[in-house]
Structure 1
Amino acid sequence: MEAGFNLVLDAKTSLGECPVWSVAEQVLYFVDIKSRRIHRFDPATNDLTTLELSEEVGCIGLVAGGGFVAGLRSGIWLLDADGRPVRKLADNPEDQTISRFNDGMVDPMGRFVAGTVDESREKGIAGLYRYDRNGLAQLADDLLTSNGVAFSPDGRRLYHADTLRYTLYTYDYAPETGIASNRQVFSRFGSDTDKGRPDGGAVDLEGCYWTALFEGGRVQRYSPDGALLAEYPVPVKCPTMVSFGGADMRTLYCTSASIGRSQAELEAFPLSGGLFAMRTDVAGLQKPLFNPEA
């Protein structure tokens, strides 16, 4: 283990997820899925602003011109800068009593790539989808928990995890068309003694993939060919997603969860639900802005 993450905000989220750095505002947005909130954190002042939503929000992207694209339980929505719904872009095509949108991000051409979670944890109804001006298209099916969406620096590799199956995949991705093909296993996780599994991820300028290991208490960095390069402790059991930010894009932020954890775990890890950060030697990729006409 190398030097790890430090607390930057005791956010007390139930299920913190999807940190997204705004280059224009120099602030970090992140969500609390179960509390139905989008948070705006200004690291220069430590100010936290909260936007309340009417339903669970699994993932967000920033929109060119302001506002958010968001994966909610009911579907993919366009929200204004205050989190108010502008219009629904696409329905969640699955059984919404046990399915909601979970992890996602904007692709290099401004589309939104987002997956769902099968809350039954057994039916395999979750999928990975792409939204663009032509509507919603499915990229993968038969998933339990879609997570870890990120793109290589050239946009031609898509990373994607099925968390409950302890597996991280790669796809060949065509930025021109948004078509994903040739799924391959990038890495498998978990053992009898280690339940850490891949949750949210991010890619740096060297093309290396960083993943938060839920129930693993750490973040790992992998080379593009799948070699484990380093791992960094997080002072919680359940980190959920990493994302680069800061003026030089060399601050790696990490959200975490407290929901569903035992009392003993919460006593052992009292910062569960907090927001953490670590300085890195290599900068991360800026996340593209969503374009409804992409």
Structure 2
Amino acid sequence: MQAELVLDARNGTGESPVWHAAQQALYWVDIPARTLNRWHASEGHAQWKADEMIACIAPRTDAPGEWIAGMESGLFSLKPQADGTLAAASLAPVEHAAPAMRFNDGRCDRQGRFWAGTMLLDMAAGSRVGRLYSYGKGDSNATLRLDDFIVPNGLAFGPDGRTMYLSDSHPAVQAVWAFDYDTETGTPGNRRLFVDMKPLPGRPDGAAMDTDGCYWICGNDAGLVHRFTPDGRLDRSLEVPVKKPAMCAFGGAGLDTLFVTSIRPGGIDLSDQPLAGGVFALRPGAQGVPEPAFGS
């Protein structure tokens, strides 16, 4: 199966792809560029810039046209402006566990609560200061749920919302865990190892779910997107023409296209991956689960 180039975006770190069904458009962020991006098949590429790095996003039902986002100093609501900027309103400032941290991977659970993890900007330090927070409609603060991570990543919720998945993508960890998830209270429990990715190609990065309850996760550094069955078995691995796929999301009219964002690190040799930082599409023969909006 060959990946199709959607956009030669040249993102430093293309992350958090979200399919907007009403617009039939793909949104994502470029973290170091501080941009929110949109691609539409007939309208092309649009971009809006923020004052802080944006790491993860979800659309808001309670404020149409706005996005909830995990950024550097906390959670914000973002509204694209006609001049290419983003109007940002603080929702929940966060006191990080250490200086020089930002949010990383995040998304909404099936009930519309926003979940997002934090990480140290200097990932190589290997400091276990990463935390996982949740924030619901009507909350005044983000609630600390889990800690002791280096780079929390791969957040996803099963089709019925009763299983939560979370990874740590640091080279020293490379594990994916599953949790029983109480949909009423938004509480994860019974943490267990779902996949040990150390023996497999690629570090665990961003993830997506399909209607069969299978977990798709980018194999960063390996140029692969892996699919794991609900019992943690590696079912297949699909190639993309870059070394660092970052996150995947199902989209398209039938939610049967798997979009993949990627990373273009500064100073890399581009001779064997000139499309690094691009956005790609795969037709994996699976259908995704619609992603809930915040407050839904």
Q: TM-score, normalised by structure 2?
A: 0.92
**In the alignment, residue 284 of structure 2 is paired with which amino acid?**
T
Tell me the equivalent position of 1:22.
Answer: 20
Tell me the equivalent position of 1:203.
Answer: 209
User: 1: CA distance between counterparts of 2:76 and 2:134?
Assistant: 13
Q: Which runs of 5+ in 2 are unaligned?
A: none
Shift of 1:280: 2.6
Shift of 1:123: 1.8
User: What are the Cα deviations for residues 76-106 of structure 1, in whole angstroms up to 9, with x where unaligned?
Assistant: 0011243633521111221564210011001
**In the alignment, residue 121 of structure 2 is paired with which amino acid?**
E
User: What are the Cα deviations for residues 231-267 of structure 1, in whole angstroms up to 9, with x where unaligned?
Assistant: 001100000000000000000000000124622xx22
Corresponding residue pairs, total: 285
The verdict on how the C-alpha distance between 1:253 and 1:261 changes in structure 2, with shifts beyond 3 A counting, is: farther
* Superposed counterparts of 1:26-105, under 5 Å: 26-43=24-41, 45=42, 47-64=44-61, 65-82=64-81, 84-95=86-97, 97-105=99-107
Task: Assess if the C-alpha contact under 8 Å between 2:133 and 2:145 holds in 1.
Answer: yes
User: What are the Cα deviations for residues 142-179 of structure 1, in whole angstroms up to 9, with x where unaligned?
Assistant: 11111111110000001111000111111111111111
The verdict on how the C-alpha distance between 1:168 and 1:181 changes in structure 2, with shifts beyond 3 A counting, is: same
User: 2: CA distance between counterparts of 1:141 and 1:257?
Assistant: 26
Task: Assess if the C-alpha contact under 8 Å between 1:77 and 1:85 holds in 2.
Answer: no
User: 2:176 aligned to 148, 168, 174, which one?
Assistant: 168
Deviates more, 1:237-246 or 1:102-111: 102-111
Deviates more, 1:63-72 or 1:28-37: 63-72
* Superposed counterparts of 1:250-261, under 5 Å: 250-260=256-266
Task: Assess if the C-alpha contact under 8 Å between 1:6 and 1:277 holds in 2.
Answer: yes
Task: Assess if the C-alpha contact under 8 Å between 2:97 and 2:130 holds in 1.
Answer: no
User: 2: CA distance between counterparts of 1:67 and 1:7?
Assistant: 28
User: 1:136 aligned to 117, 122, 142, which one?
Assistant: 142
Tell me the equivalent position of 2:275.
Answer: 271
Tell me the equivalent position of 2:7.
Answer: 9
User: 2: CA distance between counterparts of 1:173 and 1:7?
Assistant: 36
User: 2: CA distance between counterparts of 1:197 and 1:261?
Assistant: 21
User: 2: CA distance between counterparts of 1:52 and 1:275?
Assistant: 19
**In the alignment, residue 72 of structure 2 is paired with which amino acid?**
R
The verdict on how the C-alpha distance between 1:243 and 1:258 changes in structure 2, with shifts beyond 3 A counting, is: same
**In the alignment, residue 184 of structure 1 is paired with which amino acid?**
R
Tell me the equivalent position of 2:287.
Answer: 283
Q: SS where residue 268 of structure 1 aligns?
A: coil
Tell me the equivalent position of 1:113.
Answer: 115
The verdict on how the C-alpha distance between 1:202 and 1:261 changes in structure 2, with shifts beyond 3 A counting, is: farther
User: 1: CA distance between counterparts of 2:196 and 2:3?
Assistant: 24
The verdict on how the C-alpha distance between 1:241 and 1:261 changes in structure 2, with shifts beyond 3 A counting, is: farther
The verdict on how the C-alpha distance between 1:261 and 1:103 changes in structure 2, with shifts beyond 3 A counting, is: farther
Deviates more, 1:116-125 or 1:32-41: 116-125
Task: Assess if the C-alpha contact under 8 Å between 1:118 and 1:143 holds in 2.
Answer: no
Shift of 1:27: 0.2
The verdict on how the C-alpha distance between 1:261 and 1:175 changes in structure 2, with shifts beyond 3 A counting, is: farther
Q: SS where residue 285 of structure 2 aligns?
A: coil
User: 2: CA distance between counterparts of 1:156 and 1:246?
Assistant: 25
Tell me the equivalent position of 1:150.
Answer: 156
User: 1: CA distance between counterparts of 2:249 and 2:267?
Assistant: 24
Task: Please say if 1:183 is aligned against 2:161.
Answer: no
Runs of 4+ with >6 A deviation: none
User: 2: CA distance between counterparts of 1:124 and 1:157?
Assistant: 24
**In the alignment, residue 268 of structure 1 is paired with which amino acid?**
D
Q: SS where residue 271 of structure 2 aligns?
A: helix
Tell me the equivalent position of 1:222.
Answer: 228
Q: SS where residue 80 of structure 1 aligns?
A: strand
